[in-house]
């Protein structure tokens, strides 16, 4: 569902497309390095210029004649982005001049019948009167700009010209969306699951671990909900992320966990649960984020019933600290149980937003905790005298004690289990805050 005017940035590898993307949206969203091929999927960012809001798409480096499978997938992503855009920013390098590949890309761009702005990047000295390579003029584009994306020079002129041509499209309120972070080790099927949910090949998929590097925000309408999916790059241990893009992706993925409303941790049913899986689940729990386990590739199980029983035992053993989190077995390849993920998301968000009446909580207190003590303070039993919910997202409960004492972790867990036993719909982390209730 398109809700904004769209500008797409394209060009050959390593001409500064991602730097220009970051400059326009005003924050570091795309990974920028001197390494060719850093951007692989199409990245969407929201930009505001002179009070006008629009979407900007960053694309991978275009290799029109490439036979490489990954590069061909990148080309497919670029083609999809160009088809949905209103204006195309064609980025070339002023330092390197107009190359044969630039000319080939220019020919490709003509078939889209959309305004193309030729952005000659890396013109870093504003007072210098650059003489363009004559071949740039020969490309035949009417609008040509000298820019330095790194320093912001000339970018305002491009945006002013864009505003003259961009159509007015009613913008949807992205703040109303439920933000979903899809996390997991590389090559467990995160992108495949996202594509299956969306019904389109929005994210590059291959058998090569680490295909998705940048975090991609995709707003999607399903029934009466608006979801913003974040397909994070696969997380690796830092010692194994030898190149800079992979290292940055680790950091960004954890940032997305912090920003998201709900976390989907994708596991491969053909692999044992790794300590990284436990680390990610723990990181989500630490930040009190609703979490569901999406166990993918069940089409590969020779005996699904037996296989799922073994996996359930492993989940109980390795991930017992999130025993309350729902898990679902799916196959992104065959679409088996994919639609059930939306039901899981709905239940998680409802639980995340759930509010329990104070009188119900104190009825629970009277029936289950009247005679229960949380240790002793100066030989006096420490007890909960009153309980109320003070926040949602996450559900947060204040428990007022008869004595000002520090409550040990084991009592936290016991009280949490009491609440969960009464309210089994709370399938998300909950937070307990202990206060001293003075007479």
Q: What is the pLDDT of residues 145-174, one digit of tens each?
A: 999 999 999 999 999 999 888 875 544 444
Q: Is 420 left (phi over 0), alpha (psi -120 to 50) or beta?
A: alpha
Q: Name which of 19-33, 216-230, 275-289 the model is least confident about.
A: 19-33
Report in angstroms the alpha-carbon separations of 427 from 93, 220, 267, 363: 52, 24, 19, 21
Domain boundary (352, 379, 399) is at 352
Q: Name which of 82-91, 163-172, 174-183 the model is least confident about.
A: 163-172
**Around 257, how many Cα atoms within 13 Å sit in the side-chain half-sphere?**
27
Higher-pLDDT residue of 315, 185: 315
Give yes or no for residue 245 having a pLDDT over 70.
Answer: no
Section 294-314 average pLDDT: 96
What's the domain range around 418?
Answer: 358-436
Residue 260 inside a domain? The answer is yes
DSSP, res 261: S
Residues with Cβ within 8 Å of 298's Cβ and at least 6 positions away in sequence, in order, are 269, 304, 307, 308, 329, 330, 331, 336, 337
- Which tokens belong to 117? 């702005």
Q: Name which of 145-154, 216-225, 286-295, 357-366 the model is least confident about.
A: 216-225
Q: Give the residue numbers of the binding site.
A: 11-18, 58-62, 121-124, 184-191, 231-235, 296-299
122 and 243 in a single domain? The answer is no
Q: What is the mean pLDDT of the chain?
A: 83
Section 295-318 average pLDDT: 96
251 neighbors 236 (Cβ within 8 angstroms):
no
Report in angstroms the alpha-carbon separations of 339 from 69, 266, 329, 334: 29, 15, 11, 12
Give yes or no for residue 256 having a pLDDT over 80.
Answer: no
346 and 204 in a single domain? The answer is yes
90 neighbors 119 (Cβ within 8 angstroms):
yes
268 and 381 in a single domain? The answer is no
Residue 250 has a pLDDT of: 58
217 and 276 in a single domain? The answer is yes
Domain boundary (352, 372, 405) is at 352
How deeply is 352 buried, as exposed, middle or buried, from its count of CB atoms within 10 A (0-12, 13-18, 19+)? buried
Give yes or no for residue 234 having a pLDDT over 50.
Answer: no
157 and 195 in a single domain? The answer is no
Residue 368 has a pLDDT of: 83
147 neighbors 153 (Cβ within 8 angstroms):
yes
Beta bridge partners of 397: 389, 432
Domain boundary (310, 336, 352) is at 352
Residue 1 inside a domain? The answer is no
Give yes or no for residue 316 having a pLDDT over 70.
Answer: yes
Phi, psi values for residue 135, rounded to 5°: -65, -25
Domain of residue 141, CATH code: 3.40.50.300
pLDDT band with cut points at 50, 70 and 90 for residue 253: low
- Distance (Å, whole) CA 284 – CA 265: 9
309 neighbors 348 (Cβ within 8 angstroms):
no
205 and 314 in a single domain? The answer is yes
Section 68-79 average pLDDT: 77
Q: What is the pLDDT of residues 188-213, one digit of tens each?
A: 998 899 889 888 654 444 444 444 54
130 and 57 in a single domain? The answer is yes
Residue 229 has a pLDDT of: 84
Measured in whole angstroms, the distance separating CA 422 from the mean position of its chain's CA atoms is 33
144 and 219 in a single domain? The answer is no
Domain of residue 401, CATH code: 3.30.300.20
343 and 220 in a single domain? The answer is yes
Q: Give the residue numbers of the binding site for GTP.
A: 11-18, 58-62, 121-124, 184-191, 231-235, 296-299
Highest mean pLDDT among 123-137, 223-237, 297-311: 297-311
Q: What is the pLDDT of residues 334-347, one digit of tens each?
A: 999 999 999 999 99
Tally of domains in the chain? 3
Higher-pLDDT residue of 97, 233: 97
Section 231-242 average pLDDT: 48
179 and 311 in a single domain? The answer is yes
Give yes or no for residue 74 having a pLDDT over 70.
Answer: yes
Residue 33 has a pLDDT of: 44
Strand pairing class (6-11; 87-93): parallel
In percent, how much of the chain has pLDDT > 90?
48
């Amino acid at each position: 569902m398109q809700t904004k005017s769209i500008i797409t940035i394209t060009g050959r590898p390593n001409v500064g497309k991602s730097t220009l993307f970051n400059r326009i949206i005003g924050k570091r969203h795309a990974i920028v390095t001197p390494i060719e091929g850093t951007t692989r999927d199409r990245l969407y960012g929201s930009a505001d210029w002179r009070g006008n809001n629009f979407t900007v798409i960053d694309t991978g480096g275009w290799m029109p004649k490439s036979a490489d499978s990954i590069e061909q997938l990148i080309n497919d992503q670029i083609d999809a982005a160009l088809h949905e855009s209103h204006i195309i920013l064609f980025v070339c390098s002023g330092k390197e001049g107009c190359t044969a590949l630039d000319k080939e890309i220019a020919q490709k761009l003509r078939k889209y019948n959309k305004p193309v702005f030729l952005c000659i990047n890396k013109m870093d000295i504003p007072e210098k009167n650059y003489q363009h390579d004559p071949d740039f003029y020969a490309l035949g584009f009417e609008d040509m700009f000298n820019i330095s994306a790194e320093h912001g020079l000339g970018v305002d002129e491009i945006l002013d010209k864009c505003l003259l041509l961009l159509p007015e499209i009613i913008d949807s309120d992205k703040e109303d969306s439920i933000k979903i972070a899809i996390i997991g080790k590389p090559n467990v099927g995160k992108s495949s699951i996202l594509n299956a949910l969306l019904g389109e090949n929005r994210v590059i998929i291959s058998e090569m671990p680490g295909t998705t590097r940048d975090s991609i925000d995709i707003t999607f309408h399903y029934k009466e909900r608006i979801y913003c999916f974040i397909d994070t790059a696969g997380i690796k241990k830092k010692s194994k992320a030898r190149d800079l893009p992979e290292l940055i992706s680790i950091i960004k993925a954890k940032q997305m966990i912090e920003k998201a409303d709900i976390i989907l941790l994708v596991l491969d049913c053909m692999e044992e649960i790794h300590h990284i899986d436990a680390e990610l689940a723990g990181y989500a729990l630490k930040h009190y984020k609703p979490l569901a386990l999406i166990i993918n590739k069940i089409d590969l199980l020779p005996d699904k019933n037996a296989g799922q029983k073994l996996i359930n035992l492993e989940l109980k053993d390795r991930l017992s600290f999130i025993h309350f989190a729902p898990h679902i077995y799916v196959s992104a390849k065959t679409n088996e149980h994919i639609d059930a993920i939306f039901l899981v998301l709905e239940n998680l968000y409802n639980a995340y937003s759930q509010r329990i009446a104070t009188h119900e909580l104190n009825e629970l207190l009277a029936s289950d905790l009247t005679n229960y003590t949380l240790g002793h303070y100066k030989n006096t039993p420490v007890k909960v005298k009153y309980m109320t919910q003070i926040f949602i997202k996450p559900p947060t409960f204040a428990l007022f004690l008869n004595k000002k004492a520090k409550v040990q972790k084991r009592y936290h867990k016991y009280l949490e289990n009491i609440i969960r036993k009464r309210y089994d719909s709370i399938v998300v982390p909950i937070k307990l805050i202990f206060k001293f209730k003075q007479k």
